[in-house]
Structure 1
């Protein structure tokens, strides 16, 4: 929580949090240039300046791999993550990647960091390891980190941390069964192939008057809604447009949720092409129906 930066989530816990440095995430759609390379390089420059100034007191850099989830479904521009890894090595700082949302085939690779050949020092995983059926999470570490806690028992170097549900047998059994399905059904390759269908279908959303941006990697996508495409102005906060879109989607037979003004699309990895088309059609219908009504309301005289 201390390394997060969303006030609405974290503000109330402020007295409990330790200090951490924050650097900007490369949000290409909201960058003044709209140029992914410029956005990437500016954010990397800020990160390098922070590391150059404070690397002796920084333990690690932590970030979600490739796609930022609850922060707004923001997709990293190409080359950003691999350069973050390079900077961490340059300044001798650990790299911690959060793949709780992006791991286990969600983005078209088993782990999202594989898109850029990145190998973190610590990798956090969960959710997808059981297909979402039971809660299990794990933390993977490099041999170097493992060795830091490995020694004769009398040296007390063990990481004495755990909780009551560690190694839950039923959860582990479900995780093993789920991983067998990954192999049997070639899940990751199927996601990679069907991702193009999602891309093609979602591209038609740009026809809609209030779809500002579409960010997608594999079976993970966000559709950002705006009141005005030219200015990228959002709808008034109190109209809850994206939330109302998800309510309309529910009426039409599909469950999803918004993150701010962005509609989240994360279909089951086993979805067929027909099911994907049906879900995307529902989203499109709901967005068109709700945003056109919201736009009329926003423009009406007080």
Structure 2
């Protein structure tokens, strides 16, 4: 029987198989046909400690029997309060920088970033109403960035085939060139010029240290630090999209920590619940919050969704925060990162591969293959190959990347890299 489901990022006209997953545990997915898959991408970068983690699953079950959902406009509940306090405690801090002090809940990474953009524009709008600053409307973005699939987040992401159908809806932005190796100063000079322009920008948004969907492109921490310093010097709000980079993926809890950066606004999602259930949050400094605080109801922050701060999701997030506080998660990430590094180095020596790169528990390598563009048939063929070999991966064109759960063991890691080596033999150019 034909399924009525319309799957995301899936071209149904190609007739590719859609495996049915019936159970998951740790880093393994169990299929309806009896097969298994190693989840090499944490089911779209969300699963951190492993699927169906007992502590998180228990917290969800317990909360579901106490309070499931509550309107969050003018009401609150303890799981949301606990998670907000925990997020503020764990957020990046640095001397001389205002800390992140307020948490606004939403339900996905896209909406967390959309909220961040609205906060930034609302901040300057309200300052202009008070005669404290001229209005600012322009957003600066980093080349090749990706921030989500809502209208606002598509506007601040890379333009291409994946959003061209909606181009009439997207607003204009100023694009800062990506800090490619050896061209970092070009990026900083471009940002300096944009921030010093007569039409002052409202904010600059970046994925800190690594661009995810843009090809797992990595840039150094000192560039992130310098970009934040330029924004601070010109009073341009600095927005960090930590949706993918947060929760240990880059080797620290948040990527901004590696540069000593405290953003004015920070979006988090994906691993906030350990990947068990949707939840997102946007953190802001006091000045962003205070610009919206007033006795005038017309100046409140107009954003919400029906499931804002869902109690069950917040209970899962609270359990995840407890795991980070009480268990040696950084140690697990370090061990996994070391294991990936050793195997990636061996893979990089093969002529079928190029541009091996790693940041924490994220690794990527490019396959030397003809017709390797984003819309070529290479990625679908690779996906099918990996599926047949018991591995869930979703290459970005010819870029094969890993972002596994932190529970991936040595044998599973060996299996993953053996399959990658075979993929190089099968699809790569070997001379």
Q: TM-score normalised by the shorter chain: which range applies?
A: 0.7 to 0.9
- How far 1:149 moved relative to its partner? 1.5
Aligned residues: 278
**Do the aligned partners of residues 239 and 209 (structure 1) sit closer, same or farther apart at CA in structure 2, a change above 3 Å counting?**
farther
- How far 1:234 moved relative to its partner? 6.2
Q: 2:362 maps to what in 1?
A: 220
Contact 1:246/1:286 (CA < 8 Å) preserved in 2? no
Higher helix proportion, which one? 1
Contact 1:214/1:222 (CA < 8 Å) preserved in 2? yes
1:6-85 aligned within 5 A: 6-27=159-180, 36=181, 38-54=182-198, 56-85=199-228
Calculate the TM-score normalised by the size of structure 2: 0.61
Contact 1:100/1:127 (CA < 8 Å) preserved in 2? yes
CA distance in 2, matches of 1:187, 1:271: 13
- How far 1:237 moved relative to its partner? 6.3
CA distance in 1, matches of 2:270, 2:374: 30
User: Residue deviations 1:243-274, cap 9 Å, x none?
Assistant: 32232121111101011221121000222233
Q: 1:268 maps to what in 2?
A: 405
SS of the residue aligned with 1:9? coil
Which shifted more, 190-199 or 97-106?
Answer: 190-199
CA distance in 2, matches of 1:180, 1:234: 47
* Runs of at least 5 residues in structure 2 that lack an aligned partner in the other structure: 1-153
The question of 1:163 aligning with 2:305 is answered yes
Q: Which has the higher contact order (CA 8 A, sep 6+)?
A: 2
- How far 1:282 moved relative to its partner? 2.0
1:44-193 aligned within 5 A: 44-54=188-198, 56-152=199-295, 154=296, 156-193=298-335
Contact 2:378/2:398 (CA < 8 Å) preserved in 1? yes
**Do the aligned partners of residues 65 and 238 (structure 1) sit closer, same or farther apart at CA in structure 2, a change above 3 Å counting?**
closer
Q: Which runs of 4+ in 1 moved over 4 A?
A: 236-239
Contact 2:376/2:397 (CA < 8 Å) preserved in 1? no
- How far 1:20 moved relative to its partner? 0.9
- How far 1:240 moved relative to its partner? 2.5
Calculate the TM-score normalised by the size of structure 1: 0.85
CA distance in 1, matches of 2:372, 2:309: 46
Coordinate RMSD, CA, aligned: 2.1
CA distance in 2, matches of 1:19, 1:249: 39
Q: 2:377 maps to what in 1?
A: 240
SS of the residue aligned with 2:163? helix
CA distance in 1, matches of 2:407, 2:317: 16
- How far 1:13 moved relative to its partner? 1.2
Q: 1:5 maps to what in 2?
A: 158
* Runs of at least 5 residues in structure 1 that lack an aligned partner in the other structure: 28-35, 228-232, 297-302
